[in-house]
Amino acid sequence: MSDFDARLLAERAQEARRWAYAPYSHYAVGAALLAASGRVYDGCNVENAAYPSTICAERVAAVKAVSEGERDFVAIAVATANGGMPCGSCRQFLAEFGVDLAVLIVDGQGAIVKRTTLADLLPDSFGPAHLPRP
């Protein structure tokens, strides 16, 4: 993806942080997922008093996209105050739809501090191809 598109996606992720519901950790996360269709789906973390029921920003964005018919993704930007990386659960969840996904890590100032791919973040992943087809 172009530097220009990366910049736009990073801005969307940074803006999405504002909606984070994080009364327990106070760690706001924003995500912006670019689909092959050209549409961008935003997400933020949504915490819960029953802590494990919390949903991460990346999975919120992915679920919004898939529930609207998207399955092909180009890139995801993830914004936090300190350039935090996607958790293991989110890596696995996103890998379902392909590990060629570009991953942009964005800091609290909106700077892209890392550009990588899901394949690099989750090597030798388990995926749909490992399950036998009926």
Specify whether the CB–CB gap between 67 and 55 falls below 8 A: no
Q: Counting contacts by CB under 6 A, is residue 58 touching ligand THU?
A: yes
65 binds ligand THU (CB under 6 A): no
Nearest Cα neighbor of 67 from 100, 31, 43, 95 is 43
Binding flag, residue 27, ligand THU (CB under 6 A): yes
Instruction: Give CA–CA dist 130/11, Å, rounded.
Output: 36
* Bridge partners (DSSP) listed for residue 45: none
The alpha carbon of 57 is separated from its chain's Cα centroid by a whole number of angstroms, namely 6
93 part of the interface to ligand THU, by CB under 6 A: no
Q: Give the number of C-alpha atoms closer than 13 A to the C-alpha of residue 3, restricted to the C-beta side.
A: 1
Site for ligand THU in 71-90 (CB under 6 A): 86-87, 90
Q: Which amino acid is at 28?
A: A
Q: Contact between 92 and ligand THU (CB under 6 A)? A: no
**DSSP conformation class of 5:** H
Give me the amino acid identity at 43: G
58 is annotated as an active-site residue: yes
Size of the site for ligand THU (CB under 6 A): 13
Rule CB under 6 A: is residue 9 a binding residue for ligand THU? no
22 versus 63: smaller Cβ distance to ligand THU? 22
Instruction: Pick the stretch among 6-14, 33-41, 50-58, 118-126 that binds ligand THU (CB under 6 A).
Output: 50-58
Residues known to be catalytic: 58
Per CB under 6 A, residues contacting ligand THU are 22, 25, 27, 29, 45, 47, 54, 56-58, 86-87, 90
